């Protein structure tokens, strides 16, 4: 399973890259705003800065919601760097744009996926990735992991090559469960990736090894 980091924060992206397990980055307009990045020129530059840190796919989201606008914006994003993946919302004109992009060799990530039917439609339109938002589904007392399982079944039934990019990851067990269910990618906050490291018995065991070593030297 690939690990992407879900942030526009350059320091966090560098930290995850330096851990040696990072395969890519996802951003969205909220994450860009959180970093204080505004204005088209600054936003485009920030995407290039991210691409220069990570050798992997970087999702950059369109703001337009009409077909012509999504296509024009997507082309501008695509031309920024070979690793850019154009992130398109699951709306009617978004689906049309996914089809257009797939016919023109522009890779896409269909975002805001909350149902198996949406994921099926995105795959039929040729999306490279779909992003089911598991955390936001859990937030409303529903089952985000059931959505991953359902999409996996549908894609395997028909051999769709669209990759399942589990998004809205909140904690390390989301990552583990996504891996068990066969999600292709999890995009995670840095805290969830680092939390995978942690086990109290590891800390206790290491402390004992080091203490025993110190006694015998
Ligand atoms: C990433 O592609 C998504 O935009 C992101 O994971 C959404 O996460 P959130 O639900 O924590 O905002």
State how far the alpha carbon of 205 is from the alpha carbons of 195, 200, 201, 209, 212, in Å. 18, 8, 6, 6, 11
Residues with CB under 6 A from ligand 1: 6, 26, 28, 111, 131, 133, 135-136, 167-168, 187
The yes/no answer on whether domain 2-215 falls in CATH 3.90.1010.10 is: no
CA-nearest residue, atom 9 of ligand 1: 168
CA-nearest residue, atom 6 of ligand 1: 168
CA of 134 to the centre of ligand 1 (A): 9
State how far the alpha carbon of 7 is from the alpha carbons of 10, 12, 40, 109, 196, in Å. 8, 8, 18, 16, 18
Structural contact between residues 88 and 97, judged by C-beta atoms closer than 8 angstroms: yes
Predicted confidence at residue 125, as pLDDT, reads 98
CA of 210 to the centre of ligand 1 (A): 41
Residue 99 a catalytic site member: no
- For the entire predicted model, the pTM comes to 0.97
- Ligand 1 atom index nearest CA of 26: 2
CA-nearest residue, atom 12 of ligand 1: 168
Segments of the chain scoring below 70 in pLDDT: none
* Boundaries of every domain in the chain: 2-215
Residue identified by tokens 């009617």 is 92
Q: List the catalytic residue out of 2, 45, 87, 208.
A: 87
Q: For residue range 113-122, what is the model confidence (pLDDT) as tens digits?
A: 999 999 999 9
Predicted confidence at residue 217, as pLDDT, reads 87
């Amino acid at each position: 399973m690939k690990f992407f980091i879900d942030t526009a924060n350059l320091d966090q992206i560098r930290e995850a890259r330096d851990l040696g397990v990072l395969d890519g980055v996802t951003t969205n307009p909220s994450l860009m705003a959180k970093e204080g990045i505004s204005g088209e020129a600054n936003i485009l530059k920030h995407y290039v800065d991210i691409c220069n840190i990570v050798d992997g796919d970087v999702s950059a989201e369109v703001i337009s919601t009409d077909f012509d606008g999504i296509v024009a914006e997507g082309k501008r994003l695509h031309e920024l760097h070979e690793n850019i993946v154009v992130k398109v919302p699951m709306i009617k004109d978004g689906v049309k744009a996914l089809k257009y992009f797939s016919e023109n060799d522009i890779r896409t990530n269909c975002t805001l996926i909350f149902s198996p039917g949406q994921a099926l439609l995105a795959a039929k339109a040729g999306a490279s990735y779909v992003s089911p938002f598991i955390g936001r589904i859990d937030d409303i007392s529903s089952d985000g992991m059931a959505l991953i399982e359902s999409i996996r079944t549908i894609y395997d039934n028909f051999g769709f090559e669209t990759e399942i990019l589990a998004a809205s990851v909140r904690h390390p067990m989301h990552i583990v469960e996504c891996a068990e269910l066969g999600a292709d990618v999890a995009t995670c906050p840095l805290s969830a990736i680092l939390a995978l490291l942690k086990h109290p018995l590891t800390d206790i065991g290491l402390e004992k090894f080091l203490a025993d070593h110190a006694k015998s030297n």
